[in-house]
Amino acid sequence: MNFYLLLPGIALALLAIVLISLDLVVWEKAKERLAYVTVIGLGITAILVALVGQTPGQSFFGTLTVDPLSVLFDEIFLLSAALVTLSAVDYTRRRSRYQGEFYALIVFATLGAMFLASSTELITLYVALELMSISQFILAGYLKDSTESSEAGLKYLVLGALSSAVLLYGLALVYGATGVTTLTGIREALAGGQPSPLVLLGISLLIAGFGFKLVVVPFQMYVPDVYQGAPTPVTAFISVASKIAAFSIVLRVFGFGLQPLDQVWPGLFGGLAALTMTVGNVAALRQTNIKRLMGYSSIGQAGYALTGLAYASHTTTTGLLFFLIAYAITNLGVFIGIVYVSNLLGSDDLDAYDGLSRRSPIMALGLAICLFSLIGLPLTVGFWSKVYLFLAVFDVGLAWLVVLGLLNSALAAYYYLKIVHAMYLKAPPVEKSIGSDPPLAAAMIIAVVAVLLTGIVPGPFIQAASTAAGVLFPQ
């Protein structure tokens, strides 16, 4: 067992314990400082991930691995957790006494996501998935005095438990067909032979189980209600960390363990991609609550990402990974703007954004830039991520999927621009300017700089994605 490779996970677990301990002794008025302790701890963990990633290897009896793929995902999770924590300082101060527990749960969910991205064994990945999921269930229902939050937590819990049962059954069938639980052993057992009906049934259940976390149609039914009812910072975390963690393990399981059956599962993901992007974008058109709108947007974005799984290759996987990087920083930027409006205006309706550019020009500009990135306009990372992903999919002969993706992108531009139109072309209800919370402003600045930096200089990030994809599909 190589404990050196486990240092980031150990550091994150210790951070959660420290936060819970400090929460017991810190005065109520000073508890918002726990957010800064969280951000510092996440930053130290990110440094440890980079250092440990320089010496790839396996740990914990071969069930966890450190490689460029896990390092890339770990850094995304840690950045997401840090931005969500900064955006939640004022939100939790206004709405909840349990600030320490909130930040500790964010850390535990991040820890589960990191272990999930490193898992190379079926039992380990399931335990990691449950650690992340249970933390998110609690976070979704965190506002105990809110009926909407309680309902969101309950719905997330019930449907999450159902999807976990389906996933566990699928894992059991794959184990029963191959006799091993390691992804390497599964790959070797499936190599050179025809897939048995047991394996095919197991693959179907795995796609259904993972589909819940990927918010894939028809497993997306919980998304609008959970996104609307959960605390807004939690919605931001779920929309990014949960989805990207699911993609990380799907890439491991299908791109490596089940790679010998790449004549079977890519076609399934291609069909799901077409259905998911279309349903998500069409449903978003009529939404008037911005959190529900972003819930359906998240479904549409998942559909774009799934196109990278419609063909098993290095280029499509690189495109998928770069798209996930772009999606993470862009979607977080949008939700930081939503947290801002929710905090200061107390509303999640689209009408609350009327004239925002006059009342808070800097925050409105940051939100507009992130929305432009979700559309895929030039000079933003969203443009290059879609270009690279769709070109990769086109090059492998899936032109129909690219055409559908472009049509859906044009459709999605309508509801994203509807928000920009409200901010810049509608009159505000009152002309009085609204202030800003420094941690929230810092989070927005980081997100916008990341969106523009990766949009203007995408090369290093595409290279990082290509290196990570090489773990599954060597060039």
354-383: per-residue pLDDT in tens?
888 888 888 889 999 999 999 988 889 989
- Give the CA angle between residues 198, 307, 391 to the nearest 5°: 140
Backbone CA torsion sign across 453, 455, 457, 461: positive
CB 169 within 8 A of CB 180: no
- Helical H runs in 179-222? 183-190, 197-214
At residue 77, the pLDDT reads: 93
List CB contacts of 365: < 8 A, sequence separation 6 or more.
Answer: 357
At residue 213, the pLDDT reads: 85
Q: 57 has which bridge partners?
A: 66
Q: 66 has which bridge partners?
A: 57
Mean pLDDT of the chain: 87
User: Whose CA is closest to 38, among 96, 94, 91, 108?
Assistant: 108
At residue 95, the pLDDT reads: 64
HSE toward the beta carbon, residue 11, CA cutoff 13 A: 21
185-199: per-residue pLDDT in tens?
888 888 877 778 888
226-284: per-residue pLDDT in tens?
888 888 888 888 888 888 999 999 999 998 888 888 788 888 888 999 999 999 999 88
At residue 389, the pLDDT reads: 92
Least confident segment among 21-25, 79-83, 120-124: 21-25
Cis preceding linkage at 218, omega within 30: yes
* 91 vs 232: CA distance, rounded Å: 8
Mean pLDDT of 91-98: 72
Residue 50 has pLDDT above 70, yes or no: yes
Tell me the two tokens of residue 117.
């991205």
* 232 vs 238: CA distance, rounded Å: 10
Residue 346 has pLDDT above 80, yes or no: no
Mean pLDDT of 425-431: 76
At residue 426, the pLDDT reads: 82
* 448 vs 454: CA distance, rounded Å: 10
* 381 vs 76: CA distance, rounded Å: 15
